[in-house]
Amino acid sequence: MSIAVIGAGAFGTALAVTLGREGPVALWGRDVGPLAAERENRRRLPGVAFPADMVILTQLETALESDILLIALPAQSLSTFASTNDLSGKTVVACCKGIDLASGSGPSSLLATAKHVAVLTGPSFAADIANGLPTALTLACADEAVGQGLQAQLSTSTLRLYRSTDVVGAELGGALKNVIAIGCGAVMGAGLGDSARAALMTRGFAEMQRVAAAFGAQAETLMGLSGLGDLTLTCTSDQSRNYGLGLALGAGRDFDSGVTVEGAATAQALRRVARERGLDLPICACVSDLVAGDVDMKGAMQQLLGRPLKEE
């Protein structure tokens, strides 16, 4: 079956590279002329040569003819993509992590017009995947037979996929950990220490589980790669864009506005979700306020540390 990756950012390019090393794959993105000419994404993944079986497409219509579509677009542009392209009859795999700010929906809901929808998520940096470093991800698909087929089709010698049928849990884990990562980055940027970061990660994970339960996700999903695994990676590495935004906020530095940080919009979307469902999400709310500029680090600390004492 033919495979096309939609979105030529770092992660989309990395997926195309690792798949292209073991078979034919196409990559589409805006302004991919330089990628086709240089056989390298010098802006996003410098030094990673494209394999011979990786084809660069300049026409989205051509990419959409493929049997399997890996959608590696920013989460906030997914709704527009889905509403302006015919995905009926297609098998699509959402490779982005976030909650749509306008609708509060996850990637699988936004792509629901496709015949089959799966989610690919978990602890991964694009550079690691592109450089052939061992990586394990969760592939979630409600249709177990389709999931098995995708698992076989998309796994490579260095990219190991674990299968799940809990699509909601997998995509929520990938989205929510970005919010907690911003908070952890802010803690470290402000010089509050590793102990504070560990506390924020742990209590943040409790909030992730709270949200997942409210949406009917399976508790064990959040304990896996798409939840705890991704949280651990994103909250502890400078390679994480969400963690990097938090570092800048905590240190009072400017952050490159051209860098996509999915957790910023997801934090705002969670404020509405918490209100609608009556969920207590103090860390997520604090991150939302911090990103919006409604509170500084001193105020954020007071907001969290001043809460009533309670059982864990």
Span 174-211, pLDDT tens digits:
999 999 999 999 999 999 999 999 999 999 999 999 99
Q: Are residues 62 and 144 in the same domain?
A: yes
How many other CB atoms sit within 10 Å of the CB of residue 259?
9
Query: Is residue 312 in some structural domain?
Result: no
What's the mean pLDDT when you consider all of the chain? 97
Query: Is residue 272 in some structural domain?
Result: yes
The CATH number for 125's domain is 3.40.50.720
Pick the last residue of a domain from 165, 189, 210.
Answer: 165
Query: Is residue 126 in some structural domain?
Result: yes
Q: Is 90 a catalytic residue?
A: no
Mean pLDDT along residues 281-291 = 97
Q: Are residues 153 and 186 in the same domain?
A: no
Residue 257 above 90 pLDDT?
no
Mean pLDDT along residues 244-273 = 94
pLDDT number for residue 112: 97
Q: Are residues 160 and 183 in the same domain?
A: no
Query: Is residue 310 in some structural domain?
Result: no
Q: What's the chain's Rg over C-alpha atoms?
A: 19
Rounded to whole angstroms, the Cα distance separating 205 from 157 reads 31
Mean pLDDT along residues 4-29 = 98
The CATH number for 188's domain is 1.10.1040.10
Rounded to whole angstroms, the Cα distance separating 66 from 298 reads 51
Domain total of the chain: 2
Show the domain range for 128: 3-165
DSSP 8-state symbol, 75: G
Q: Are residues 17 and 160 in the same domain?
A: yes
pLDDT number for residue 258: 87
Mean pLDDT along residues 228-248 = 97
Q: Are residues 239 and 283 in the same domain?
A: yes
Q: Are residues 179 and 241 in the same domain?
A: yes
pLDDT number for residue 285: 97
pTM beyond 0.75: the answer is yes
Residue 4 above 90 pLDDT?
yes
Query: Is residue 113 in some structural domain?
Result: yes
Q: Are residues 17 and 70 in the same domain?
A: yes
| Residue 111 near residue 213, CB atoms below 8 Å | no
Expressed in percent and rounded to 5, the helix, strand and coil fractions of the chain are 50, 15, 35
Choose the catalytic residue: 97, 115, 177, 310.
177
Q: Are residues 160 and 205 in the same domain?
A: no
Question: How sure is the predictor about 301, in pLDDT bands with cuts at 50, 70 and 90?
Answer: very high
